[in-house]
Structure formats: structure tokens, C-alpha cells
Amino acid sequence: MKTFWLNWVRVAAVASIAVSWTAPGFAQEPLPSWNDTAPKRAIVAFVERVTNQVSPDFVPPAERIATFDNDGTLWAEQPIYFQLVFALDRVKALAPEHPEWQDKEPFTSLLKGDLKGALAGGEPAIFQIMTVTHSGMTTDQFEKIVSDWVATARHPKSGKLYTEMVYQPMLELLAYLRANGFKTYIVSGGDVEFMRVWTEQAYGILPEQLVGSTIKTQFELRDSTPVLMRLPEVDFIDDKVGKPVGIHKFIGRRPLLAFGNSDGDQQMLQWTAAGRGLRFMGLVHHTDAEREWAYDRQSHIGQLDKALDEANARDWTVVNMKSDWKTLFPPAAGR
């Protein structure tokens, strides 16, 4: 995962932004949190065409595969990818067992709260952080660790659980697609085992419908009990050119609809667009500095530059978060 995590190194400043949340309505129409603008119309028109049995664009349900990037597409990704927050939190949690970290970078800086200093070590520093936090345990142990973190960790700006920072309009889109016979998949650069723990509850996406980056695991018998050990070794990076590879390997069908938000999704959208017949390619454009964050071409997180040019040139759907979405996040449960 060294390559994938490289751009985390470039993360420096933490954005300080006032985020406000708006509760969605309970309309019966599809996509109630979407304004009645071009993206919503394009989505509804597309779904109606591919599901209408007398339409020349009809697609049988088995072929209705929809793939979604996760970070920045289904949930927020600022000021740093949430999986990196998890890793940093784990370093703090593990510190008492590692007195040697007091004098060993990147841990020394991290434990002082100096993220920038820690990441100054570049790729090897990131790799060390990811290795100690993501490997060396069984898959069951890792699941428990992620599960505990997801249940308690809160975003520094919003104070919400991370799983409350999922985009309400995208939840509605997932539900709308499933109601129309689509199978919804995540295709993310994130660690597939990190995501699996919470995506069913957060998105209604089943564990077997995740494509993501993987580290190697090894089957071992411990006192006759089989376990899978997570090894400090990259298996597959599901980002950029890796996304079509991952889709083909895990799903074996080309998506009918694909949604992303960054240049890391460009090849997934190209792969989708190259399929026969009608296809839908969408990008979430983070334009909403007031309710969330505004970033694109210059951002170190979720950079959207080349993919935006291609989307504009090829008339793919670009969601302007500020003007196309009525609300961003679901109401916090019971708070």
C-alpha cells in the first residue's frame, strides 16, 4: 500500500470549517435530498431507460452493476482520509505497549500530536504507521479493532461518528438503484477489511459487494483452530488503473453505472463508459465550503483534475454538491 498512501504524506494543514447539518425531508419521490437539477434528472432518466422492458436500452437485472468509490463519494474525506485517522488513533492506543516509540519517528512526532512532523518522513513513515496498525493480527482481531473504533471515534470538526458523515443523497441513490434491481458495490482504494466492518450498516452494502485494496493474509492453524493472519505486505492497490482491474477480478462484470469523486476514479469511469450500450458515469464535485469542504484540482486529498476535464469533455454527470444537494448528511441518530 506504499504507493497508495504516498499522497497522505502531502497532507499538511487541517481545514477549519464550520459545518452545518440539515435534516432531510421524508418525500416519497426518488432522491428527495437531490435538487431537481441536471444530475438528478440524468440519474432518473438513465434508470428509467435501462429498467424499461420495452426500451432499446433495457438491461437485465443481473447486469445492473453499480460501483461507487467510497472516500469523498459515499462519505467525507477531509481533512484527512478517515482510514488514516483510524491508523493515527491506533498508534496512540498501542503506544503503552511500545515504549521504544518515544524515540522513534514517525511515532515520536505522532504521539506529540505533530502529524505534519510525523508525515515528514515520507513514504517509509506512512508505511510504518500502516504496518503497525493494519497487520500483525488475525482478521477477526482486526475486525474487532475497527468495529470498536467506528463505534466511538468522532470527527474533529463535526463531532460526529465517522459513519454519520456519509452523504444522505448518495444513501438515497444507493437505495434507489437497489429498488430498481441494481447490485451496489463499493470500489475503493481503502483497505477492504477496514470497510467491511461498517459498510452494511452505513450503506446497506453487503460485505461481499466490496472491492478494495488488500494486504496479504496467511492461513494458520493455532491449536487446531484456523486463523488468517494479516501480513505486512501489500496484495493489491485498488486505485486509479487498479480499479478496473479490481472490478474485473472481484465482480467480473463491467459496471452499468459508476460514481467517483477524484482522479483515482477516472479509469473506473473510462472502463464503465467503454461498455456497450447506455452507461452512466458520475462524479461528486466538492464545491460546498459551507456545509462541507470545497476542493478539486489542487487538493492533496481527493484531487479532481484530469477526471473533471474528461467528465466535462465527455458529458459525464458532475454533481455540484453545493447546488445539487439539498442536504449533505443524515440526521444524527439519537443525539
Cβ–Cβ under 8 Å, residues 319 and 284: yes
**Cα separation, 316 vs 318, whole angstroms:** 6
144 binds its own copies (CB under 8 A): no
Residue 176, H or E segment: helix 168-179
Among 56, 99, 252, 334, binds its own copies (CB under 8 A): 252
If the CB atoms of residues 89 and 143 are measured against its own copies, the closer one turns out to be 143
The window from 11-19, 166-174, 267-275, 291-299 that contacts its own copies (CB under 8 A) reads 267-275
The least CB distance from residue 74 to its own copies, in Å, is: 17
320 binds its own copies (CB under 8 A): no
Among 208, 223, 298, 333, binds its own copies (CB under 8 A): 208
Q: Which three cell numbers stand for residue 44?
A: 432518473
The least CB distance from residue 75 to its own copies, in Å, is: 19
Rounded to the nearest angstrom, the gap between the alpha carbon of residue 193 and the centroid of all alpha carbons in its chain is 13
Cβ–Cβ under 8 Å, residues 186 and 209: yes
**Cα separation, 72 vs 70, whole angstroms:** 6
What does each C-alpha distance from 261 to 65, 266, 268, 287, 311 come to in angstroms? 18, 9, 11, 11, 11
Among 16, 28, 53, 225, binds its own copies (CB under 8 A): 225
Footprint on residues 56-75 left by its own copies (CB under 8 A)? 62, 65
Phi-psi region of 315 (alpha: psi -120 to 50; beta: other; left: phi over 0): left
Footprint on residues 159-198 left by its own copies (CB under 8 A)? 183, 192-193, 196
What residues line the site for its own copies (CB under 8 A)? 62, 65, 139, 183, 192-193, 196, 200, 206-208, 210, 214, 217-219, 221, 225-226, 228, 235-236, 241-242, 244-245, 248-253, 267, 270-271, 274
